[in-house]
Amino acid sequence: MRGGALADLTRRDLILLVNLSEGDLWLAHVDLAGAGMSHIDLAGADLRKANLSGSDLSHADLSGAHLEGADLSHANLQDADLSGANLVHCDLRGANLRGAKLDGATTGGLEYDAATVWSKDVDPASLGATMASSSDWH
């Protein structure tokens, strides 16, 4: 599936799509804002520049996913597996990353704000993240 708005997909539709993709899921540029995707397996998925703002990705497997330039603002990524994922230039403003696994993730150019929740052992600066000023907000 290439591009387009998927806002009308139900959680069941998303799970079916993931299962049918057999690990080759291409969702670059899609709009999944606010989608409920907790515990979903998106390992290795292509989610470049996807709109995932406000989505529930808690406990999701995003290991090795391609998330370059994705909007993850206000997303719930608590306890998500982002190990080996490409997170370059992601918008993490207001996101919850408590307990998220970031081992081996490619980072840099990340934006976050005072509302972003990090795990206690994560230093945003070590990930190449910069605090967005209020003038940078949409």
The 10s digit of each residue's pLDDT in 85-107 is 999 999 999 999 999 999 999 99
Angstrom distances, CA of residue 15 to CA of 12, 30, 80, 127: 5, 16, 17, 31
pTM over 0.85: no
Residues whose CB falls within 8 Å of the CB of residue 39, separated by 6 or more in sequence, listed in order: 58, 59, 60
pLDDT value at position 27? 74
- β-partners of residue 56 are 36, 76
Tokens of 128: 């190449």
How far is 109 from 130, CA to CA, in rounded Å? Answer: 7
The per-residue pLDDT of the chain, averaged, comes to 85
pLDDT tens digits, 35-89: 889 998 899 999 999 999 999 999 999 999 999 999 999 999 999 999 999 999 9
Is the domain defined by 1-138 classed in CATH 3.60.15.10? no
Tokens of 60: 């999701």
